[in-house]
Amino acid sequence: MTATWAWLVLLFPLLGSLTIGATFKVLPERTAGLIGISAIVAAFVCGILALIGLQGEPSESRHVASSLWEYANVGGLKIDLGIYVDPLSIFMVLVVTGVSSLIHIYSYSYMESDQGYHRFFSYLNFFVFSMLVLVLAGNFIMLIVGWALVGFASYALISYWYRRNTATKAGMKAFVINVVGDIGLYIAAILIFKNLGSVDYGTVFERAPEVFTTNEWEIVAICLCLLVGAFAKSAQMPFHTWLADAMEGPTPVSSLIHAATMVTAGVYLIARCHSLFELAPTAADVAAWVGLATLLIAGTIAIAVTDLKRIIAYSTMSQIGYMFVGVSIGAYSAGMFHLMTHAFFKALLFMAAGSFISAMANMQDIDKMKGFRKAMPFTAAMFIIGALALSGFPGTSGWFSKDEIIDFAHFRGGMYDWMWVGMLIGAFMTAIYSFRIIFRILPGPPCEEAEYLEQHGHVIHGEPKNPATGELEDTEVGYPGEEHHIAEQAGGMKFAMAVLGVLALIGGLLQIPGVDDVITKFLEPTFENSVFAHMHPSTEDSWIGLGEGALISIAGIATAWLLYIKRPDLPVKFRQRFSAIYTLCVNKWYGDEIVDFLIVNPVKAFGRFCNRIFERFAIDGATTGVAGLTRSAGAAVRDLQSGLLRGYAVLMLFGILAIAVYFLIRSI
Amino acid sequence: MLSSIIWTPLVFGLIGLLVPKRFAAWVAALGAVITLGLAIGVLAGFDPDGGMQYITDVSWIPGLGVDYSLGIDGVSIFLVLLTTIAWIPAICFSAIRGTDRPALYYLMLLAGETSTLGAFLAQDLLLFVLFFDLMIVPFYFLFGIWGRDRGGEEDPERSPGNGPVSVQSATLKMIVFTLIGSLLMLVGAIAAAVIAADGGELTFSIQTIVARGLPEGSQNWIFWFFAAAFLVKMPAFPLHGWMPDSYRAAPLPALAVFSAVLSKVGAYGFLRVVLPMMPDASDLFQSTMLVLAICSILYGSAMAFTKTDLRLVLGFSSVAQLGFITAGIFAFDSTGAEGAVLQMVNHGLVVVPAFLIVAMISERTGSEELGPMGGLAKKAPVFAVIFLIVSMATLAIPASANFIGEFYILNGLFQVDAAWAIVASVGVALAAFYALRMYQLTMHNPLPDGSDSREISLRDALVLVPMVGIVVVLAFCPQLIIHGSEQAVDSSIAIVREVAK
């Protein structure tokens, strides 16, 4: 029964996507939106039913594999169209469908005046479907399928406003980087098959410890290849450059990519393959260090840039970095717990940001926003809740989850103590950049747009401009349409944000050290064979860690207050004094330029060389030469040549026959 | 049964000469549909584990040991199906638009189908060579008579190599290259039969020659005589020089089947003739062939993402795809070879709609040049979705059957050496780039003035949707093809695997 519910989880979003897509001409827009919402809600309900079914089993048999049919089978490489249901995948299903439902409800209002409403909801449902394939996959090939479909869906949604050149470029970038990640998974799957004779999760995880010794090069290679996929999908260094550009998509899409789907895939992958990573501690350490580097670098960028959505995007990179460290050092349930709380508050932050951006008539620069406290009290309150949770303010969900990861690093000691220190610094930066936004846009005298909203009660009309280039836009495929919507005036947006606000505040209560530990207990069956299964910091140490986290968070917020409220001259001075560091950060550590220099430009140069030099001179030259030779030979026997095109063909036929006859006679 | 499949198209082409002009197209379409029906009939009675089936064996030129010998196995059946399916949209697409001298046009198209089917079904080496050579003749006329000169209207700086092309010089290049390859193959075929006979009774039966075996020394040069013909036909790097001009000059419906099916005859030839007949040479030259295949993948991809002419983007993407197929075959591994067969079918199914879409884009924008066009999705969502599916299948997105093909090929290559697989996988990333670029620069971005973003017409949709439908169905169950062809693929590579060990 559990498996059936899990299949239904997949079915509803797919059906929703196809129905909306196929009926775009006949269905009214609202209905399409409602179908989209109900498809995801239905998937969520089925997810809960699957959960109930699963919990009914004794803990050692809490995993179900089910397959529909044989997808492909050659030479022992057998691929089933199969799923694997265990606490980890159900956990992901519930986070994905739960948060996605709310994002759909938000979009229902937010995208109201957009021209491509059907297309939007069809893509949105498909995105969720792809993510569900990814988390429910029963073997590495299905995983790759889900992985790639998520990449495709993100492409479709990032370049949703496809008449914008910047959007289509960003979509292409996301897609191609993701394909590079896919290739990592291809190679990993091939290696896994070669060494273990199967690609099914159950068999692979069971056989791996028998076949590999710890840190044998093959298992390290497998894990590193898996990591290429994980880094690309989760925007970890050096594959992170697509994420900020992905902000070209509508804000609900950013919310979906960053919170519930897509970027969390890498974290899920490591957790899913934990038994492989534990055999390859070197690879796990690589993942942890990369996560640490990403979280620190993304933090510095988030403090420097001024585009509201991009700040939040870099914050996502940074938070995913925490999760990477968590699942790589063995703090599996902590990593998954942070994945969940992050989904709540990050979705909330993006939704609130969308509301602000609407009020600004699509301007995204926080330098231009000011004094929204009175004009948009609800959005402001929600944004503050989100920022508190993100900063790990005591009592909020982020406080519990982030500090659990940080503690675990300290608990493991040794080199992981360095990670502990790094993550604490990261936490401090998180608090600064979160409250940098708040102190810049909420207090103070209202800006023109906020004042207009306060006085007239509706959003100011601005010219539809591309926020990236400032070009005037064609609104026929809408830049969120003529009408903008803010949470204060749109029921759907308000509802979704309110629910997430509550979850972001109290979600952490699920896992209070020494009190309930719901997440750890729930995920236990998945991780029971792990060497870290019974390694936890003591309750006392956990609370000490939480205390440290609280102090750092408050210190960060206080610093932000000092910098942006009390002494706003300080950041300016800072910028002048350390202009090199500032330039580095505001240019995102030149990630794009480095990738361009190392990969994109050489590939393009190779293409140009082939096209302009090699093809032209070597290939075409030789071809024309050969053809020319024949032509002169033809001219020599001009009498035979009728001058018509077909002459050649007839000649050829007879030629073939003549030669055939000649050889035949000779050979007899 | 197999004879009727081969000759039905030609018969209908000849009938087309007799009926009034305006019916010629529909007679041709009827012929193509009947041929497909016959092929489906064969499929219905086909036993995947039965080896060579539906054998026809009539002595034809007894003195020379040439038989009119036909047969079908798990590999050829899917290529026959591909052929019979692919011709229908090409004919219907032309029928909707009308052509000059219709009777002759359809006669040529159908003659092309007959000779292609003959090549896939022939079990006699000389018969195979004959059909293989005959294939090019109708296409020579199709390209020559119904093709068009291309002026150098494109900006030469941005897209070098897009200079003016005359039909005459383009077809000349094609015919010369094909001719050289064919002649070499003919010599190779005769030599193979003679040497295998070793003074005994001369026969061209592929099976007998394989059973008799060829001495290693002769294998080595005969191998290259065959390989030359097949590599030209595919085309593979560096023998693709004839391709760009011919593709630019050709009429699109004919080009669609040409690119979809004729290229596969080359790959098929490796599997049917070269590997079983010259196993030692195949083993000896494995690395050389893999290098050529990988060069085709990388070079074809690089050209595909720099070219701006849509036909050339597709043409060079085919070079890359055929590179994958060759690599899969020369991995001498059952996953690699099966992946190659799957990919032959997939690529054919994708290329036909792709070229027809190019024709439709050209009707809407008046150009086949990427760059000046864009934004066509605006009023044509259905058209855009069809093209999107085709583009995604071209780049072998996981969840398409193309992915399974490519994955098996990479797996096969990996068994030879990890390095081959890793280098080849670069082609996967490049494919994402060129296929998406092609889609984006036509369908997305702002719509320039003068472009007409109109929805696909119902008739065109009826032509395209079935093919795209097959692509989608196969995406859900590639095992349909794998199950039918696995045994035949294994027996094709059995001898060479023995040798390789």
Give B280-335 pLDDT, tens digit per residue. Answer: 888 889 889 999 999 999 989 988 888 888 888 999 999 999 999 999 999 888 89
Nearest to B183 among A606, A608, A659 (CB): A659
What phi, psi does B37 have (nearest 5°)?
-60, -45
> Which of A71, A163, A611 is opposite residue B479, by nearest beta carbon?
A71
C-alpha distance from B411 to closest chain A C-alpha (Å): 6
Largest CA distance in chain A: 104
Chain pair A-B, CB pairs under 8 angstroms: 215
Report the first-to-last Cα separation within chain A, whole angstroms. Answer: 74
pLDDT score recorded for residue A640: 45
pLDDT of residue A667: 47
A307-321, A545-559, B143-157, B227-241: least confidently modelled range: B143-157
User: Would you state the structure tokens that stand for residue B192, as one six-digit string?
Assistant: 């193979």
- Closest chain A CA to residue B192: A667
Q: Do A162 and B377 touch (CB under 8 A)?
A: yes
Amino acid A635: pLDDT: 61
Under the banding of pLDDT at 50, 70 and 90, the label for residue A94 is very high
ω into B238 cis (within 30 of 0): yes
| A64-74/A77-85 β-pairing | antiparallel
Give the pLDDT of residue A473: 67
| Whether the predicted pLDDT of A482 surpasses 90 | no
pLDDT at B156 over 60: no
For chain B, the farthest-separated pair of C-alpha atoms sits apart, in whole angstroms, at: 73
Considering only residues 181 to 210 of chain B, which have any Cβ-Cβ distance to chain A shorter than 8 Å?
182-183, 186-187, 190, 193-194, 202
From B351, B353, B355, B264, select the one nearest B309 (Cα to Cα).
Answer: B355
* Contact across the interface for A656 and B182, Cβ inside 8 Å: yes
Compare all CA atoms of chain A with the CA of B167 and give the residue at the minimum distance: A645
Determine whether the interchain pair B478/A663 forms a contact, defined as Cβ–Cβ distance below 8 Å: no
**Residue A81, C-beta contacts closer than 8 angstroms, at least 6 positions apart:** A67, A68, A69, A70, A71, A142, B476
Question: Which H helix or E strand runs over B491?
Answer: helix B479-500
pLDDT at B160 over 60: no
More confident: B32 or A570: B32
Interface of B with A in 66-125 (CB under 8 A): none
Predicted pLDDT at B484: 87
Half-sphere exposure of B70 (CA within 13 A, CB side): 18
Distance from CA of B386 to the nearest CA of A (A): 13
Can you tell me which residue has the tokens 């094709």?
A: B492
Pick from B137, B392, B476: CB nearest A152: B392
Q: Mind giving me the DSSP string for B197-265?
A: HTTS----BHHHHHHH---HHHHHHHHHHHHHHHHHHTT-TTS-TTHHHHHHHS-HHHHHHIIIIIHHH
Which chain A residues are closer than 8 Å to B299 by Cβ?
610, 614
Instruction: Name every chain B residue with its beta carbon within 8 A of the beta carbon of A612.
Output: 160-161
For residue B441, what pLDDT is reported?
A: 86
Residue B238 has pLDDT above 90, yes or no: no
Exposed/middle/buried for residue A194 (C-beta within 10 Å: 0-12, 13-18, 19+): middle
Of A73, A627, A664, the CB nearest to B176: A627
Nearest residue of A to residue B305 by CA position?
A607
Mutate to test the interface with B, among A26, A27, A74, A123 (most CBs of B within 10 A): A74
Mean pLDDT of A285-306: 89
pLDDT for A639 beyond 50? no
Sign, Cα dihedral of B276, B277, B283, B289: negative
Per-residue pLDDT of A424-475, as tens digits, reads: 899 999 998 999 888 888 887 888 777 777 777 777 776 667 766 666 666 6
Residue A84, H or E segment:
strand A77-85
Q: Does B457 touch chain A (CB under 8 A)?
A: no
Q: What is the pLDDT of residues A204-221, one digit of tens each?
A: 888 888 888 888 888 999
Rounded to a whole number, what is the distance in Å from the CA of B415 to chain A's nearest CA? 8
Residue A11 pLDDT: 92
Q: What is the mean pLDDT of residues A468-495?
A: 70
Question: How far B242 CA lies from chain A's nearest CA (Å)?
Answer: 6
Per residue in A47-86, pLDDT (tens digit) is 999 988 888 888 777 888 888 888 888 888 888 888 998 8
Residues 6+ apart with CB under 8 A from A474: A163, B446
**Cβ atoms within 10 Å, residue A609:** 13
Distance, in angstroms, between B179 CA and closest chain A CA? 7
Minimal-distance CA residue of chain A relative to B436: A172
Percent of residues, chain A, with pLDDT higher than 90: 21
| Interface contact B436-A152, CB threshold 8 A | no
Cα–Cα nearest to B317, from B431, B418, B401, B452: B431
If one compares B154 and A267, the residue with the highest pLDDT of the two is: A267
pLDDT of residue A634: 61
Are A72 and B479 within 8 A, CB to CB?
A: yes
Res A601: pLDDT: 83
For chain A, give percent helix, strand, coil, nearest 5. Answer: 75, 5, 20
- pLDDT, tens digit, 9 for 90 and up, residues A334-383: 899 999 999 999 999 998 988 888 887 777 888 788 878 887 888 888 99
Residue percentage of chain A with pLDDT more than 70: 91
Cα dihedral A470, A471, A472, A476 sign: negative
- For B432-467, what is each residue's pLDDT tens digit? 888 988 898 888 877 777 777 788 888 888 888 999
> Which residue of A79, A176, A618 is in closest CB contact with B433?
A176
Which of A77, A645, A663 is nearest residue B335 as measured by Cβ atoms?
Answer: A77
| Mean pLDDT value of segment A244-257 | 84
Is the confidence at residue A575, as pLDDT, over 90? no
Task: Identify the pLDDT of residue B346.
Answer: 92
Give me the amino acid identity at B419. A
Residue B183 to chain A, least CA–CA distance (Å): 7
d(CA B107, CA B27): 10
Out of B190, B303, B375, closest to residue A611 by CB: B303
* Interface-testing mutation among B75, B373, B441, B445, with chain A (most A C-beta atoms within 10 A): B445
Q: What percent of chain B has a predicted confidence (pLDDT) above 70?
A: 97
Rounded Cα distance between A123 and A125, Å, is: 5
The answer to whether the Cβ–Cβ distance between B242 and A623 falls below 8 Å is yes
CA B216-B220-B225 angle, 5° bins: 140
Considering Cα of A343, then A346, then A350, then A356, what sign does the dihedral take? positive
| Best mutation target, A152, A190, A198, A466, to test chain B (most B CBs within 10 A) | A190
| Radius of gyration, alpha carbons of chain B | 21
Using CA coordinates, name the residue in chain A closest to B422. Answer: A187
B332 contact A CB<8A = no
**Stretch B486-495: mean pLDDT, rounded?**
87
User: pLDDT tens for residues B166-220?
Assistant: 887 788 888 888 888 888 888 888 888 888 888 788 888 888 888 888 888 888 8
Average pLDDT for A173-187? 90
pLDDT of amino acid A530: 83
Question: What is the CA B321 to chain-centroid distance, rounded?
Answer: 10
C-beta atoms of A180 and B194 within 8 A: no
Nearest CA in chain B to A159: B444
Q: How far apart are CA B428 and CA A148, in angstroms?
A: 12
* pLDDT tens digits, B477-488: 888 888 888 888
| pLDDT at B99 (0 to 100) | 85
Distance CA B181, CA A184 (A): 39
DSSP class of B369: B
Q: Which residues contact B278 (CB under 8 A, 6 or more apart)?
A: B214, B219, B222, B223, B226
pLDDT of residue B155: 52
Picking from A397-406, A634-643, B199-208, which range would have the lowest pLDDT averaged per residue? Answer: A634-643
Q: Based on C-alpha coordinates, what's the Rg of chain A?
A: 28
| Domain range list for chain B | 2-500
Distance CA B411, CA A174 (A): 26
pLDDT at B342: 92
What's chain A's average pLDDT?
84
Q: Are A38 and A127 in contact (CB under 8 A)?
A: no
Beta bridge partners of A85: A64
Distance from CA of A164 to the nearest CA of B (A): 6
Q: Does A72 sit within 8 Å of B445, measured CB to CB?
A: no
How are beta strands B66-72 and A64-74 bridged, if at all?
unpaired
pLDDT at A468: 67
Instruction: Compute the nearest-CA separation of B193 from chain A (Å).
Output: 10
Confidence of residue B153 (pLDDT cuts 50, 70, 90): low
Compute the average pLDDT of residues A405-416: 85
The average pLDDT across B50-65 equals 83
Query: Within a 13 Å sphere around the CA of A656, how many CA atoms are in the beta-carbon half?
Result: 26
* Terminal-residue alpha carbon distance, chain B: 39
- Tell me the C-alpha distance between B118 and B102, whole Å: 24
Give the pLDDT score at A659: 58
User: Hey, what amino acid is at A541?
Assistant: D
DSSP calls for A616-659: IIIIHHHHHHHHHHHHHHHHHTGGG--SSTHHHHHHHHHHHHHH
Cα–Cα nearest to B414, from A71, A179, A192, A181: A192
Question: φ and ψ at A513, to 5 degrees?
Answer: -55, 130
* Cα A305 → chain centroid: 20
Decide if pLDDT at B63 tops 60: yes
Evaluate if residue B89 carries a pLDDT over 90.
yes
C-alpha dist (Å) from residue B205 to A251, A634, B67, B118, B492 = 67, 36, 7, 15, 16
